[in-house]
Structure 1
């Protein structure tokens, strides 16, 4: 008797690491050294698609005779799985300079910062490791979306090219 595992609905820390690493890759590739069980779960949850080196769907390429390499690449569903609703709202509402909206809840900012999707900057644009809050004065630095934070809500540039 075989048992089929249900696909995960929320990414585990291992899934998150793989998806965040894919987000940082120019082609959105899940790292090659990723554990097989993690890869299977990500694929089963449909957080990534199997694609060729050219970015085309591997299944379609195989139908016309392609037998080259393929890899899993994060898709919009995988990018969405990385964010809470509050995180998605904050990143989508970032200004043209990528500053997160004033009033973004601290827990949201903290999670975005932990995942590398936000950073803290001063008025001169210098990046700081924390918001500078010492418990007395309040935050000294504002949260801004990083390139990854921008990419998680907008997607990859190649996804926007015309056919």
Structure 2
């Protein structure tokens, strides 16, 4: 999990003029673009107005031959996309990117409509009634480091696929999970969350702060494996896939195993 960076000195949104609907649309496109580049088809009149407000500046001193001068969004331009209430809400995020509980729900709703926050339940699934977390678009807006939003299950499925192992994402009364089935073997992969030990697999990669747990049914036998805690979903998923494939081809003598990148054997 990426921790919050030192924040730049604040700019008061109250002191920033509101962009027009067209300007806002183009500025949001720039916010999501590499190097905050304004779309090349921005009309000249709006471009000039944005330059006068200090919302955009030339991306380079001299454009490439045969190309139009490109412009990039400034920090002042980013703040023009926020009301004071939205800006205060985004400044309240903790080290995991969660908004403070004091943020009013109308502000949360407005930020969600802008794409600056996403709501998740305690299992890491998108939920319109869940807790609000800042998105990567919101992080770009506030000058915070971006995080890996890839669903953790997608990372695990990709690692299993490298070994020609096919699995699926399934829901259950306990939550979502990755499931492998072949002959008498059924393996269920998930991360446990909360006091009720609910299953979680499709949570975003940045939320993967505990390792994969694998429950294997092999006919009448039951086996378990545990991943390594630490938040690195890619390393954990790679090690889990290797350990599971090794078990499929050379079943370990004991039930429990620790999935380590360099030694995925038993413990």
Give the alignment's TM-score, normalised by structure 1: 0.71
Supply the distance in 2 between the matched residues of 1:97 and 1:156 (Cα, whole angstroms): 12
Say whether the 8 Å CA contact 2:57–2:74 is kept in structure 1.
yes
SS in 2 for 1:49: strand
SS at structure 2 position matched to 1:127:
coil
Q: Comparing both structures, which one devotes a greater share of its residues to helix?
A: 1
| Structure 2 unpaired stretches of 5+ | 1-15, 147-267
Alignment match of 1:153 (pick from 116, 126, 142): 142
Alpha-carbon separation, structure 1, partners of 2:122 and 2:18: 36
State the shift of 1:9 in Å. Answer: 2.1
- The change in CA–CA distance for 1:156 and 1:143 in structure 2 (over 3 A counts) is closer
TM-score by length of 2: 0.45
Residue 120 of structure 1 aligns to a residue in which SS? strand
CA shift at 1:126, angstroms?
Answer: 1.4
1:27 to 22, 26, 35: 35
C-alpha RMSD over aligned residues: 2.0
Shift of 1:35: 2.5
SS at 2:70's partner residue? strand
- In the other structure, the counterpart of 2:187 is none
Relative to its length, the structure with more strand (as a share) is 2
Question: C-alpha deviations, 1:13-67, integer Å up to 9, x for none?
Answer: 1111111111101210011122222222211211011122xxxxx2xxxxxxx45
- 2:143 equivalent to 1:143: no
Secondary structure at the aligned position of 1:73 is classed as strand
C-alpha distance in structure 1 between counterparts of 2:132 and 2:22, whole Å? 26
Match of 2:119 in 1: 120
Q: Distance in 2 between matches of 1:9 and 1:150?
A: 22
Equivalent-residue separation in structure 1 for 2:137 and 2:92 (angstroms)? 15
Distance, in Å, in 2 between the alignment partners of 1:156 and 1:49 is 22
Equivalence for 1:18: 26
